[in-house]
Amino acid sequence: MDITALNEKIKQESAFVELLQTEIGKTIIGQKNMVERLIIGLLANGHILLEGVPGLAKTLAIKSLAAAMKAKFQRIQFTPDLLPADLIGTQIFNQKEGNFLIKKGPVFANFILADEINRAPAKVQSALLEAMQERQITIGEETFPLEEPFLVLATQNPIEQEGTYPLPEAQVDRFMLKVKITYPSQEEELKIMKLNLNEEFAKIQKVISPDDILKGRQLIKDIYVDEKIDKYILDIVFATRNPKAYNLDKLSDLIAYGGSPRASINLSLGARAMAFIKHRGYVIPEDVRSVAFDVLRHRIAVTYEAEAEEITSENIIQEILNTVEVP
């Protein structure tokens, strides 16, 4: 494989990433990490779980992303009384013709914002699973494929808040990334405040098409990943399952269970997408490290001992990254 030619090809084909970031930057001040993770999710065909307090532009970010691609966007507010049919649609009896009609739900779009997903009970959360995993919806006896690209961005309140349901592990594992959103800096918040007071919001223009994203997904598969990088990814994931094998004995009593094979797959895909965003035709260890927290933080379950010592999955990931040998 000619790395130089591949590098040049990726450099040219990934130029649209800058256009997308610049356009979203018209309405989103700061939050560069969140915007970058949204693009990684899109390119790697993975869903994203966002955790943060209300008011940090989560809705505005995905709305801006959809507008920059002129893609279909739907926001679904998850509430305790929401039903699965409110999400995927249902059959309605047509009295005139004596048959059932299919009324499709809001999940039939390119971008789904599942707002406050952990406010709805488990049966509603699980209604999203088929859409997320199979990219299709079954209503009655009919199955409908979903349009590509299809991205679910779910926001959740910190679990400590009242009236929230923890997400089932099977569903959490289906999210490629879990991104934590932090408050903007003082300078950024000043800009946000002035923009809102003066109502100087720029209109988002279409700068790329959904086809650009689908093409980018194919190109990501061509990005070169050395065997040493693959081994590094596996070492990181296996260290979450068997810390003793990596001289991390102190983590044994802190981890209830480690990352599933989806963690390895998504770490590889995320690193490739990061290389694409950086206009490179090959993956470097820093690409893996930059997405490691977002890929692993929701896949490592900590024990009661860890909770008692106020040790989080992020502390564990940091310890693993510090210890596992970098190629």
| pLDDT digit string, tens, across residues 67-84 | 888 888 888 888 888 888
Provide mean pLDDT across the span 116-124. Answer: 81
What is the pLDDT confidence band of residue 161, given thresholds at 50, 70 and 90? Answer: low
Is the bond preceding 149 in cis, omega lying within 30 degrees of 0?
A: yes
What's the whole-number mean pLDDT along residues 91-117?
85
Handedness of CA 287, 70, 55, 202 (dihedral sign): positive
**Residue 201 pLDDT:** 67
pLDDT at 306: 86
Given 3.40.50.2300, 1.10.8.80, 1.20.120.1200, 1.20.1260.10, which CATH number is that of 223-323? 1.10.8.80
Share of the chain above pLDDT 70, in %: 96
pLDDT tens-digit readout, 193-223: 887 777 666 788 888 888 888 888 998 988 9
For residue 20, give the nearest of 32, 10, 8 by alpha carbon. 32
Q: Name the residue among 60, 13, 34 with its Cα closest to residue 216.
A: 13
CATH of domain 46-208: 3.40.50.300
Q: Range with the lowest mean pLDDT among 51-60, 69-78, 177-186? A: 51-60
Q: Where are the domains of the chain?
A: 46-208, 223-323
pLDDT over 80 (residue 125)? no
In this prediction, residue 160 carries a pLDDT of 57
